[in-house]
Structure 1
């Protein structure tokens, strides 16, 4: 059966990995900086840092924004559990907003209705790489003085109005480089910022709050004059993961082009199947086609039919408002409708799709 996900790994990387392993330089260093530069060049934004996991990235972001226990954050329950768990860790109050049942993306009108004096941020998930209503959500946030975090956990390489995700008007964008993403660093993530002060603050927070330029004196000893002013995490990406990331970036355009080519073939195939339509796309977006999303009248029957044909169809995620950890099990009409119809089909670089 053709899998829905498959980790990509470039060939001929082992000699350099072995060299790094025995170099004595395993922590964030040369390859960490090179990977960040590669990401910055690709996205078109210099204010990018890497971290060792998506979870670390989210915690760094919430610390950078200064969100405190009890603050409200508006989010979509139609997303990966990894996206929303950090809010529970930080004791933030999650206010679920409904989604457009034809796209799975946040509904701007419903987001507006959820705003209260305690609202601090909107967490805008771009479900399975399909970009949501960027301008509308960002305009609402600007009107109310709120932060916008673009959740690009599955959307690296997706585009909006010919710009890469991470180079838009949103305050922050968060990417995952976990094994089944592109690029894949085995484990890792990146954060892009619009604001220079946030960017500078994030570099400290990912490294225990340390300003490395001042941390040690001329003899290499820790300087008592270097104050630690902010909370921090041990979130730096290792040299091994960073090196893998630099090698992955060399292949990224080819891999994304392959996925988008597979999507065009799926477009033609789906037209021939009754009671199935592609997920409704904003014409100003280009998904990365991490998966190919469809909406179907009978989800279970459609899933079984595709699997019989050798395609591992799946719903990928389940709506997070069913989980007690978030202390908010509000039922949302658009969410229920979308989850009842949505399926993902394999569309990745490994798929040899044919007309």
Structure 2
């Protein structure tokens, strides 16, 4: 049996004619940049997030960068975030001219540990970027309390968590801004790059709209140094169709996660740690990520037996060569370093079949039976 990490073919077949018709309408309209499809998506994603404003941008990385600039982050400032995340989180901080300051993760959720944030704050700290990794919200209440205490901005990296909830609130209504990615593999994925920022702050929203079009308002009159970072109309047309199905797809992901956890805990609880959904959270399982000590050996065995897996992420950011000048060394963030050696994401998509999940778990069981025989 061959099982990919992600299979988008069945999803496309179910939406094919609707998507083709919508794309054809865009092509016939000859409006390709910041048209009605983008405006509709901005409104609907803001509404989904219990925010007031949406700003479509070229990708999730730009969403972070533009958010920081709109919040006034500048050279010499510091921004606190997690080292256990995709490169773009800290990359956006550097692109804004600021310095990333890392804080270790909670080993259960893989999200930033709020109890460690306050000790990392200095007179130069300007913002905090919590990352809602794998589809589960960070523990936000203590982070928001710290932000209020020290007058800091909170820029949520929710690239993997659209539709997730925290204590009855939507991811998207918690921070000053929230950044989503529409990369094709995401729970709400485009057919190319795309991103969105949502906020309740009208002034921040207006700044972001200006920044995304080279800093101009009106056209050809440039208030600030901005960027060419716009969500295009074709991608928005696709996303408007897909957004109608997001809640169901997220529910199906949760069902697949429940099945994985039941199967794994029945057979392999001595070898594998399954994901924990924190009480009060609504986890949307962008990834189903286990912890296992023999991670690399297991991954090779699964690949040999037709099961694709991924490691998100094998090198924490404080040990990346690109951030060497920050001065961090191995041992500085033990939870992140240990997670980087143990995490393994199993195939996860709404159309995943129970038969496939049983095969994956049976193959993992065979690995441990042979490894310790």
What aligned pairs does 1:61-140 form with structure 2 within 5 A after superposition? 61-140=67-146
Is 1:173 aligned to 2:178, yes or no?
yes
The equivalent residue for 1:291 is 287
C-alpha distance in 1, partners of 2:137/2:300? 28
What aligned pairs does 1:1-12 form with structure 2 within 5 A after superposition? 1-7=2-8, 8-9=11-12, 10-12=15-17
Asked if structure 2 preserves the Cα contact closer than 8 Å seen for 1:88 and 1:325, the reply is no
Is 1:325 aligned to 2:313, yes or no?
no
Question: Where in structure 2 are there 5+ consecutive unaligned residues?
Answer: 359-373
CA offset digits 1:251-294 (Å, max 9, x no partner): 21221111111011011011121321212332111111111121
- The worse-fitting range, judged by mean Cα deviation, of 30-39 and 327-336 is 327-336
Asked if structure 1 preserves the Cα contact closer than 8 Å seen for 2:46 and 2:199, the reply is no
**RMSD of the alignment, in Å?**
1.9
C-alpha distance in 2, partners of 1:140/1:16? 45
CA offset digits 1:47-105 (Å, max 9, x no partner): 22111212221221121011111211111110011222122223311111111122211
The equivalent residue for 1:300 is 296
Match of 1:15 among 11, 18, 21: 21
Question: Where in structure 1 are there 5+ consecutive unaligned residues?
Answer: 216-221
**The residue matched to 1:280 in structure 2 has which SS?**
coil
Asked if structure 1 preserves the Cα contact closer than 8 Å seen for 2:43 and 2:53, the reply is no
Is 1:231 aligned to 2:225, yes or no?
yes
Match of 2:309 among 295, 299, 313: 313
C-alpha displacement of 1:136:
1.6
**The residue matched to 2:308 in structure 1 has which SS?**
coil
- The worse-fitting range, judged by mean Cα deviation, of 340-349 and 146-155 is 340-349
The equivalent residue for 1:348 is 349
The equivalent residue for 1:261 is 255
**The residue matched to 1:263 in structure 2 has which SS?**
helix
C-alpha distance in 1, partners of 2:246/2:237? 14
177 and 324 in structure 1: CA distance in 2 versus 1, 3 angstrom threshold: same
Asked if structure 2 preserves the Cα contact closer than 8 Å seen for 1:83 and 1:153, the reply is no
Match of 1:54 among 54, 60, 71: 60
Is 1:245 aligned to 2:239, yes or no?
yes
Alignment: residue pair count: 342
C-alpha distance in 1, partners of 2:144/2:4? 36
Is 1:37 aligned to 2:31, yes or no?
no
The equivalent residue for 1:338 is 339
Asked if structure 1 preserves the Cα contact closer than 8 Å seen for 2:65 and 2:92, the reply is yes
C-alpha displacement of 1:309:
5.1
C-alpha distance in 1, partners of 2:277/2:46? 27
CA offset digits 1:274-329 (Å, max 9, x no partner): 32121233211111111112122322233345445543232222311222322233
C-alpha distance in 1, partners of 2:7/2:60? 19
Asked if structure 2 preserves the Cα contact closer than 8 Å seen for 1:98 and 1:110, the reply is yes
Asked if structure 2 preserves the Cα contact closer than 8 Å seen for 1:259 and 1:347, the reply is yes
Match of 2:277 among 253, 278, 281: 281
Is 1:154 aligned to 2:148, yes or no?
no
More helix by percentage: 2
Give structure 1 regions of 4+ aligned residues with deviation exceeding 4 angstroms: none
Give me the TM-score of the superposition, normalised by structure 2: 0.86
Asked if structure 2 preserves the Cα contact closer than 8 Å seen for 1:6 and 1:180, the reply is no
What aligned pairs does 1:186-205 form with structure 2 within 5 A after superposition? 186-205=192-211
Asked if structure 2 preserves the Cα contact closer than 8 Å seen for 1:119 and 1:146, the reply is yes
The structure, 1 or 2, with the larger RCO (C-alpha pairs under 8 Å, 6+ apart) is: 1
Give me the TM-score of the superposition, normalised by structure 1: 0.90
Asked if structure 2 preserves the Cα contact closer than 8 Å seen for 1:99 and 1:334, the reply is yes
